[in-house]
Amino acid sequence: MIVLDLKSNKPIYEQIVEQMKFHVLKGHLKPGDAIPSVRKLALDIAITPGTVAKAYQELERQHIIETIRGKGTFIAGNIELKPDDTRMEESKKMMRSVILELKVMGLSETEVTDMVKELYKEMSVC
């Protein structure tokens, strides 16, 4: 289930990528599972197929899904969990940025890590 926030400044295709990864992480989608076709998902969430295609291509580039020509798209077999250096560096940059923001708002190290723990656990539940 993909839910879009059209008001968000995060591009739609990125929202799809992120949520799809979330569903894989949660086990809602397992290796080998078929995911909706580009056209079907586009209809479901009322956007143009090109945008879904862009999201799927990005997911494929990240080895999260695999495309079988003419047949459809599937969750990849052995999902690459190795923290690929480039992605790791990007995540760290974003993390630094958020932490700075929180620090500026006056949060202590403990408050920040507590928040992180809470968010981490929250993701396991919903």
Which 52-111 residues touch DNA, going by CB under 7 A? 53-54, 56-57, 60, 67, 69-73
20 touching DNA, by CB under 7 A? no
User: Measured at the alpha carbon of residue 78, what is the angle toward residues 73 and 79, in degrees to the nearest 5?
Assistant: 75
> Using the rule CB under 8 A, is 103 a contact of a copy of itself?
yes
Q: What φ, ψ does residue 47 adopt, rounded to 5°?
A: -130, 175
The angle subtended at Cα 104 by Cα 98 and Cα 105, nearest 5°, is 95
DSSP 8-state assignment for residue 5: -
Per rule CB under 8 A, count of chain residues that contact a copy of itself: 49
21 binds a copy of itself (CB under 8 A): yes
Stretch that binds a copy of itself, among 29-37, 38-46, 65-73 (CB under 8 A): 65-73
Q: Is 83 exposed, middle or buried (0-12, 13-18, 19+ CB in 10 A)?
A: exposed
Using CB under 7 A, list all residues that contact DNA: 9, 11-14, 37-40, 47-51, 53-54, 56-57, 60, 67, 69-73
